[in-house]
Amino acid sequence: MPKSTRKQDKLYIGGDQTADAIGAAVPRSVEAHRPPSPPVDQTPRQNRDEVSGVSRRSFLETLGFVFAGTMVAGCERGPVERAIPYLNQPPELTPGKPLWYASTCGACPSACGLLIKCRDGRPIKLEGNSEHPIFRGGLCAIGQASILELYDSQRLMEPFANGRKKAWPEVDAQIIARLGEIGRKGGKIRLLSETVNSPTLHRCIKGFLQKFPRAKHISYDAISVSAVLDAHERSHGVRVLPHYDFEKAEVIASFDADFLGSWISPVEFAKSYTAGRCLDSKQTSFSYHVQFEARMSLTGSKADRRHSVLPSDLAGLLRELGKLLSSQVSAGPPLPEKLDEEKKTPDHGAVDRRVLIDLAERLAGTQGRSLVISGSQDIEVQMLCNSINDLLGNYGATLDIERPSQQRAGDDAELDLLVRELEAGEVDAFLVLDANPVYDLPNGEKVAAALKATPLVVSMTTHNNETSAAAHFLLPIPHYLESWGDAEPVAGIPAVMQPALHPLGNSRSMSESLAIWSGAGKPVRELVELTWREIHFSSKTVGGRFQDFWDRTVRRGFAGLQPHPSAIVSPRQVSAAWDEEPLSHGEPGKGRSKDLLTLLLYPKVAIQDGRHAVNPWLQELPDPITKVVWDNYASLSSALAEQLGVKDGDIVRLNVGEVRHTLELPVLIQPGQHPKVVAVALGYGRMGTERFFAVGPDWFQKQLTVEKGQTLGGSAAPFVGMTSAGRRLHVQGVKIEKTHRQRMLARTQDYHSLELPKNVDPGAPPRPIVQETTLSAFLKDPTAGSQARHGPEANLWPRDHEYVKEHWAMVVDLTACTGCSACVISCQAENNIPVVGKDEVLRKREMHWLRIDRYYAGAGPDVAVTHQPMMCHHCDNAPCETVCPVLATVHTSDGLNAQIYNRCVGTRYCANNCPFKTRRFNWFKYSFENERENLVLNPDVTVRSRGVMEKCSFCVQRIAEARIEAKVEGRPMEDGAIVTACQQSCPASAIVFGDVNDPESQVSKNLKSPRKYTLLKDLNLEPSVAYLRVVRNRESSKVTGESHG
Amino acid sequence: MADLYSTLRQPLIAGNKSLGEVTNDVSGVLERKTSPLWWRAFMASLLFLLIGAAAITYQVATGIGTWGLNRTVGWAFDITNFVFWIGIGHAGTLISAVLFLFRQRWRTSVNRAAEAMTIIAVMCAGLFPLIHMGRPWLAFWMFPYPNMRGSLWVNFRSPLVWDFFAISTYFTISLVFWYVGLLPDLATIRDRAKAGIRKKIFGLLSLGWNGSLRTWNRYEVLYLLLAGLATPLVVSVHTIVSWDFATAVIPGWHSTILPPYFVAGAIFSGMAMVLTLMIIARKVMGLEDYITLRHLDVMSKLIIVTGSIVGLAYATEFFIAMYSENPYETFLFKNRALGPFAWAYWTMVLCNVISPQLLWFKRIRRNVAWVFVLTILINVGMWFERFVIVVTSLHRDYLPSSWTYYTPTLIEVLTLLGSFGLFFTGFLLFCRFLPVIAMAEVKGVLSHGHRSVRSGSR
């Protein structure tokens, strides 16, 4: 038996050897949940087949039968009225100890690897799987928050047929009959899904298509990147999405690709992007990142240089860049004089030509080590990117199309065809596999109308949505945490999803349903196993027996394989033709006046396409750039706002000529935005957000987060440009009308600039809160950019606290931090932080213990943006501790500033005296609007009552857990044994936590970094949180104004 | 009648009262039927008190969230009101103890009312630290009592604990001082009362006062001792209240000037409030002979002195902020004058520094209407002073990301009104049931025994 239960809990970590050696790991399944499963591998190996004549197989069969029997017996699901202790406690369950299971995130098709933390049989926290080769332990805000949806009581719980609750067999019989009838008549059957990255679902769809030969499967993505795939089909002969590697790219030129915020796979990209920007003293390799974009994206906020350009100018820019590059790459550097002569070049928009020359020179110098990408849905732009990458030899280096990404595979052309078929009434059966075309598509209303006339509409979904409203059969699918499944985000790295609790509803996975309808019905677990046996195991590289491979994979959550041979393609040489006329599917508004405003639709970091719009954590997550919560808005540049005579919060009416849709949104003035662009986020106005009228405290002056019966924000999806070449997220010719009404935007930050208000203190230097330097200055002097005012050198007073054993500290690398806010949600989930609603945020009472301060410095398109995570600094000389009259906040012997909730009487003196304003007060009794969501609460963390102060605890419950474990095992605590929730989820690995008293700990090393600084040094607070200075790869710093050549 | 006045010194009490007239004037109010005017004033005050009580009940039942506070501004109306009322409560002790020790005999006409005002104001003030707590039902945790929680004490480093001691001490001493001063007058009322409940109550309250020389002697000694005890409190209470701010790290709070500035401000506001009340009382209760223009004049002079100290403190704060080159402090004071709360700052300056300058003119000092208006302005200004200190320091402190604004909610405004309701209700009850003027002391400053005083009947 393993030495400690903890080891057992952590079996996933050990990898193959440990797991095999310990041998107690049984892939966890719902069926095996109770009664306890005897560890299969415990039987000595030689005994299995020979002794007692029972073969391993028949033993397992018997065991399976017994399991199935007990499962059936245990399936009765009456309400639990009494809590009864286990008579025979399952060996893996120790009350109070968490169990961890490796799985895969199903919140979006990026399919990040994750670990599920379960307490007493219920998942309470998701964390990134640090062993996963591509996501490396990061998990985004949406992934973190998706656990809350598991406990959403408004999930679809029962199958419905024509509005009536039905049992599954009945539903199946009806659907099979209808499908068979349609199949016999030769009717058209259409399956619509988003990108399917699950090999099992793929297989089941294939099986279904075999059964119904006239059926067709169409996949699309709500936020489409189909142009990238289409361009590769043209340029490389295969419709794939390359797997981008930002780590190897020394120069990154992004043309409107928000790869750190919302484009394809932000967690993976943030990991590799940060890895490519390493300022280690031993090895400094720092990529140069230039961003061309129209709005201020999260990626733009991290860029070394940022240029604001119209989406329609991207093609011109890229063509110009390609021209410059082709001359450089083939014939050496161009003569500057010659370039200066041809100043007048068409189409490269507002960007100075020198910018392009500089970029071309840098790219030419880093051939095979650079990356040119674009988030544009313009196939011409994507073709140009491909040509440039090809010219630079980046294919095979920073772009992998041999082991491509399968995170997005939607095909807009096929979708367009499908919509036309639907509208023509040609489709006889329409099966929607967890997709929501009525909401996502610009012509959703027409689709909805067409669905009404379609003879058979089946919607498989977790929630009632816009599309399912028209469905004849409404079939609940399980949350990804309660079902078996799999995913293969990148070819060759398939991953398993395993259930962490019994499904809360009477749901069934899509794979299982499709298999049943195509006559090969099996439980989903068997389907998944079968897929792996057939597809992944057959790879020659995997040796041994399937069961071992399967057990190992379930334990680890993923498998690293050679990609399936069929996935490998031979790229076709692309010929660069820079002077070619724009492709026929180019910018439709090409001929239009440049004076027209462009409407840019974009996915927000936390909201994306709106599929998680019912998640209150995500709605209350401040947008990393605008810091707005609970609302949608129209971002304008200050110049445009001035021209229109509108200010923040004024409601404007947007409409686009040919689209019969208007949208009224409050204005938000956004620094860095192109003056000819109005940016509106997608994903609002979702059905289901009506529930939020009940969010927040109930008192007589409350304002509702949404009016009763209204949805949150307005949907901008009808403005998406639908062409046969793809859905386009920018439309020219948007008209803005003032309405003379106002709606306050709830923002968690009111003052945005590092510069002090000019009307109060003109000419005052910015406060040394954000310290920044340039790469060249840093390389010359690693302490460059230090703005340390002289702090106290000697202390008159004896030190208040002695730290005999540990002294916890945290270092946040501001160069790495992308502001993605995954940590904010991770902290919220870990520490039971309540949701307060829009009105409370308007009143500046958000409860997040960890916030990310975002500051602007400078003006114009190149405005510098800094993200600064801000949590309790656990000061050694803490101002909060001295002022509390009842000793509710005290210092611990290991350097924590502890808040004792049950002693707090709520004078708020501590919060007033906190220079960082990181303390949060329970102004009301905040609770989930949805009572079942209480199941997500972490039992290790007190739920705070009304009237008490709370704040970041450095995840003290995790410290305690690690300490107890070390004590039980009689060893000292190791560095890295404690990972705070924020640190764990950080896709940029920007946060390091540990013991300062251990000179070898990572945090001690980081504290010795020349980039280290602490905030408000003059106050002699001795905070336990330090920051590492921002380094940007540019010539001058906007923050400090320092300039280095 | 001109021959009745001394040419050297104006008598403190006008009207050439006899001892009996004084007794009749003061006690008569209590013995007559309650006037409709009193009833109207009382009902209005009570209404405000009830509104305030309702607001507080709602707030305690629902949460501090019903106030306009936020994560950055954790104190606003609550502590502003607290400091305001404590300040109002300052004049009582000053007049009764300090002026007594300085032998300022004019104080006798106003000291009783001022002390009563003090006690009621301290009660109003004490309400706010209680209700500003997130969990007011646990307020007793602020009290260092022996307990079974592993012997868990209060944090003796916290200024709020010091506050608790300072205010409770002040309240106790003020109450005792006031009550001791009341004893001879209570006995007078007892003696005048016909047999019945009234006689019994006042008999109990007067603690068996018999008017003997020995009683008087002990009384005088006790009063003097209590005056000596109370005098340091005049300085200490507001000094300690100011430490709530001065020991904090927030720019605008963290300042050594706060104690003297607070004490001066408190006397300033207290005097203004005493004048406001006295001007009303002398008119309504017909006490013009006791509270004369001379009283207005003298107290106005005190207002000029303290007001000037306050004005100087404002200027010094600014100067020190600029001179210190501390960027946070510099910004804070510029922000007070030019930032989003500039309106509050300039209201304060207008009311506290500019308007009292009119009192340099004797004609204005002796004009009841002018003094009344000015004292009201000073009361408003002093409320704003505390608001400026509390809110403008907090709303833009160190990290610009947390900067906010503050807007009070209806509940807060009603709570403030309720505290005025409590104040006036208490004061009106005092006027109705206790002698407003210290008869025994006033008799001592009458021209009694001088040549031209008529002999009165006792």
pLDDT over 60 at B47, yes or no: yes
CA-CA distances (angstroms) from residue A722 to A240, A712, B276? Answer: 21, 24, 75
Residue B65 with chain A: CB contacts under 8 Å: 697, 699, 840, 843, 845, 923-924
The pLDDT of residue B314: 92
A881: left (phi over 0), alpha (psi -120 to 50) or beta: alpha
> Quick count: other Cβ atoms within 10 Å of Cβ A988?
25
* Confidence band for A10, pLDDT divided at 50, 70 and 90: very low
Quick: pLDDT tens for A750-769.
899 888 888 888 888 888 88
Alpha-carbon distance B382 to B351, whole Å? Answer: 8
Question: Side chain identity at A570, as an amino acid letter?
Answer: S
Residue A253, SS3?
strand
- Is pTM beyond 0.90? Reply is no
In the numeric block, which tokens belong to residue B433? Answer: 């049931």
Top pLDDT among B173 and A588 is at B173
* Confidence band for B293, pLDDT divided at 50, 70 and 90: confident
Return mean pLDDT, chain B.
87
Top pLDDT among A400 and B417 is at B417
User: Does residue A887 sit at the B interface (CB-CB below 8 Å)?
Assistant: yes
Residue B132 with chain A: CB contacts under 8 Å: 907-908
Burial level of A780, CB count in 10 A (0-12/13-18/19+)?
A: exposed
> Quick count: other Cβ atoms within 10 Å of Cβ A17?
8
CB contact (8 A) between residue B402 and residue A764:
no
Q: Which of A40-49, A287-296, B414-423 has the lowest mean pLDDT?
A: A40-49
The pLDDT of residue B7: 52
- By Cβ distance, the residue of B66, B152, B339 closest to A760 is B339
CB contact (8 A) between residue A885 and residue B164:
yes
> Could you tell me how many CB contacts below 8 A there are between chain A and chain B?
189
CB contact (8 A) between residue B248 and residue A767:
no
pLDDT over 80 at A528, yes or no: yes
Q: Which of A554-568, B27-41, B285-299 has the lowest mean pLDDT?
A: A554-568
Quick: pLDDT tens for A542-566.
677 888 888 988 999 888 876 655 5
Residue of B401, B405, B406, B413 for testing the chain A interface, max A β-carbons within 10 Å: B401
Return mean pLDDT, chain A.
84
Q: Which residue has the tokens 């990356």?
A: A371
The nearest CA of chain B is from the CA of A756 a distance in Å of 8
Residues 6 or more apart from B253 whose CB is under 8 A from it? B245, B246, B389, B393
pLDDT over 70 at A179, yes or no: yes
ipTM confidence: 0.92
Instruction: Give me the helices (H) in A757-908, please.
Output: 775-780, 822-830, 838-842, 879-883
Residues A509-547: b if buried by 16+ CB within 10 A, e if exposed: bbbbbbbbbbebeebbbebbbebbeebbbebeebeeeeb
- By Cβ distance, the residue of B138, B152, B244 closest to A905 is B138
Q: Which residue has the tokens 């919509």?
A: A419
Quick: pLDDT tens for A661-719.
889 999 999 998 988 899 999 999 999 899 898 888 989 988 888 888 888 988 998 88
* Confidence band for B447, pLDDT divided at 50, 70 and 90: low
pLDDT over 70 at A9, yes or no: no
User: Does residue A567 sit at the B interface (CB-CB below 8 Å)?
Assistant: no
The pLDDT of residue A830: 94
Alpha-carbon distance A171 to B179, whole Å? Answer: 87
CA-CA distances (angstroms) from residue B17 to A410, A581, B451? Answer: 103, 112, 14
Question: Which helix (H) or strand (E) segment is A91 a member of?
Answer: none
The pLDDT of residue A586: 40
CB contact (8 A) between residue A919 and residue B248:
no
> Quick count: other Cβ atoms within 10 Å of Cβ A710?
15
Alpha-carbon distance A556 to A561, whole Å? Answer: 14
The nearest CA of chain B is from the CA of A860 a distance in Å of 21
The pLDDT of residue A860: 72
pLDDT over 90 at A281, yes or no: no
Q: Which residue has the tokens 């230097």?
A: A765
Are A891 and A865 in contact by the 8 Å Cβ rule? The answer is no
- By Cβ distance, the residue of B65, B68, B132 closest to A907 is B132
B149 to chain A: closest CA residue: A903
Q: Which of A411, A40, A393, A355 is nearest to A224 (CA)?
A: A411
A753 to chain B: closest CA residue: B400
Residue of A853, A923, A1017, A1025 for testing the chain B interface, max B β-carbons within 10 Å: A923
> Quick count: other Cβ atoms within 10 Å of Cβ A670?
24
Q: CA Rg, chain B, in Å?
A: 23
Are B135 and A948 in contact by the 8 Å Cβ rule? The answer is yes
Average pLDDT of span A565-584: 50
Question: Side chain identity at B85, as an amino acid letter?
Answer: W
The nearest CA of chain A is from the CA of B259 a distance in Å of 18
Q: Which domains does chain A have, with CATH numbers?
A: 5-97 (no CATH), 160-224+410-523 (3.40.50.740), 227-234+242-405 (3.40.228.10), 598-742 (2.40.40.20), 804-831+873-1028 (3.30.70.20)
- By Cβ distance, the residue of A700, A916, A947 closest to B63 is A947
Q: Which of A813, A878, A910, A823 is nearest to A1016 (CA)?
A: A878
CA dihedral B426, B430, B433, B435 (to 10 degrees): 180
Alpha-carbon distance A933 to A504, whole Å? Answer: 12
Alpha-carbon distance B379 to B397, whole Å? Answer: 28
- By Cβ distance, the residue of A905, A917, A923 closest to B65 is A923
- ∠ CA(A493), CA(A823), CA(A296), 5° rounding? 90
Question: Which helix (H) or strand (E) segment is A247 a member of?
Answer: none
The nearest CA of chain B is from the CA of A777 a distance in Å of 27
- By Cβ distance, the residue of B63, B248, B403 closest to A912 is B248
Half-sphere exposure of A59 (CA within 13 A, CB side): 15
pLDDT over 90 at B438, yes or no: no
Alpha-carbon distance A840 to A285, whole Å? Answer: 44
Q: Which of A72-86, A593-607, A926-940, B85-99 has the lowest mean pLDDT?
A: A72-86
In the numeric block, which tokens belong to residue A402? Answer: 């041999």
pLDDT over 50 at B86, yes or no: yes
Residues 6 or more apart from A497 whose CB is under 8 A from it? A103, A104, A106, A480, A483, A484, A485, A486, A487
CA-CA distances (angstroms) from residue B287 to A548, A1021, B29, B303, B376? Answer: 103, 59, 10, 22, 21
Alpha-carbon distance A975 to A993, whole Å? Answer: 9
Strand partners, A726: A723
Question: Side chain identity at B394, as an amino acid letter?
Answer: L
Residue A456, SS3?
strand
Average pLDDT of span A142-155: 91
Give the single-character DSSP code of A412.
Answer: H
- By Cβ distance, the residue of B71, B153, B410 closest to A701 is B410
The pLDDT of residue A83: 63
pLDDT over 80 at A266, yes or no: yes
CB contact (8 A) between residue B400 and residue A753:
yes
The nearest CA of chain A is from the CA of B224 a distance in Å of 35
Give the single-character DSSP code of B170.
Answer: H
CB contact (8 A) between residue B401 and residue A870:
yes
Q: Which of A538-547, A802-811, B237-246 has the lowest mean pLDDT?
A: A538-547
Collect contacts of A762-767 with beta carbons under 8 A, ≥24 apart: A764/B327, A764/B330, A764/B331, A765/B327, A766/A857, A766/A1039, A767/B327, A767/B328, A767/B398, A767/B399, A767/B400
Percentage above 70 pLDDT, chain B = 95
* Confidence band for A2, pLDDT divided at 50, 70 and 90: very low
- By Cβ distance, the residue of A699, A886, A912 closest to B154 is A886
B392 to chain A: closest CA residue: A912
Instruction: Give me the helices (H) in A687-757, please.
Output: none
User: Does residue A854 sit at the B interface (CB-CB below 8 Å)?
Assistant: yes
Q: CA Rg, chain A, in Å?
A: 29
pLDDT over 60 at B433, yes or no: yes
- By Cβ distance, the residue of A751, A760, A853 closest to B338 is A760
DSSP B358-399: GGGSHHHHT-HHHHHHHHHHHHHHHHHHHHIIIIIHHHT-S-
Percentage above 90 pLDDT, chain B = 48
Q: Which of A262-271, A344-353, A953-962 has the lowest mean pLDDT?
A: A344-353
Q: Which of B355, B362, B368 is nearest to B278 (CA)?
A: B368
- ∠ CA(A973), CA(A976), CA(A977), 5° rounding? 50
**In terms of DSSP bridges, do strands A662-669 and A726-728 run parallel, antiparallel, or are they unpaired?**
unpaired
CB contact (8 A) between residue A917 and residue B71:
yes
Question: Which helix (H) or strand (E) segment is A424 a member of?
Answer: none
Q: Which residue has the tokens 């403005």?
A: A719
> Quick count: other Cβ atoms within 10 Å of Cβ B47?
14
The nearest CA of chain B is from the CA of A626 a distance in Å of 12
The pLDDT of residue A963: 92
Average pLDDT of span B63-84: 93
pLDDT over 80 at A58, yes or no: yes
Instruction: Give me the helices (H) in A546-634, please.
Output: 546-556, 616-619
pLDDT over 70 at A91, yes or no: yes
pLDDT over 80 at A343, yes or no: no
User: Does residue A902 sit at the B interface (CB-CB below 8 Å)?
Assistant: no
Alpha-carbon distance A131 to A853, whole Å? Answer: 30
Alpha-carbon distance B211 to B208, whole Å? Answer: 9
Alpha-carbon distance B368 to B376, whole Å? Answer: 12
Q: Which of A2-11, A700-709, A1005-1014 has the lowest mean pLDDT?
A: A2-11
Q: Which of A218-232, A718-732, B206-220 has the lowest mean pLDDT?
A: A718-732
